[in-house]
Amino acid sequence: MDIKIYPDPILKQECKEVSNIDSSFVRNIDNMIKTMKSADGIGLAAPQVGISERFFVCVDFSNDSKEDSLVLINPVIVKAEGRIESKEGCLSIPGFYDYVFRYEYIQINALDLDGNEIIYNPEGIQSVVFQHEYDHLDGILFPERMSKIKKDILMKKIDKEFR
């Protein structure tokens, strides 16, 4: 799969709910995981591969090997507290990294590939990755989570690079 690069308009769209987890959907997930791994990413959201639907894949950080991936379908953040700074980049804005503000703890409910609801209470990098990927489903890229002044400076550089 090709990764959509800023300023591709699909990256700014709000995605629609997944209505059907069928075999072609599962195939897309497999391809997304392969695409994420070959790009050395730790998360990849559907709009980044041209699908404007609410799901994402990411590394399972609870497993020491980091080989396993998680799939979150129609995720909803139901609790959020604390604040941390995290240095982030994005496969859709290659080459740019900066500090952004995130919640420290969240609870996020999502469906898995069998359509079962899973409740996650991630901490640390898993929490940050969930929030970064979740934002993609609302058309939000990581610079939006910076202070306005820092965001404006970064976006100027990004616009210069990609426009």
Binding site for Ni ion (CB under 5 A): 90
Judged by CB, which is closer to Ni ion: 3, or 73?
A: 3
DSSP state of 13: S
CA–CA distance, 69 with 71 (Å, rounded to integer): 7
Place of tokens 């799901």: 55
Amino acid at residue number 163: R
Judged by CB, which is closer to Ni ion: 66, or 115?
A: 66
DSSP state of 48: G
Judged by CB, which is closer to Ni ion: 73, or 100?
A: 100
CB of 93 to Ni ion, least distance (A): 7
CB of 28 to Ni ion, least distance (A): 18
Catalytic residue, candidates 81, 85, 133, 161: 133
Contact 88, 142 (CB under 8 A): yes
133 as an active site residue: the answer is yes
CA distances (Å), 76 to each of 14, 69, 127, in order?
14, 19, 13
CB of 141 to Ni ion, least distance (A): 7
Q: Which residue is nearest to Ni ion (CB)?
A: 90
Q: What is the set of active-site residues?
A: 133
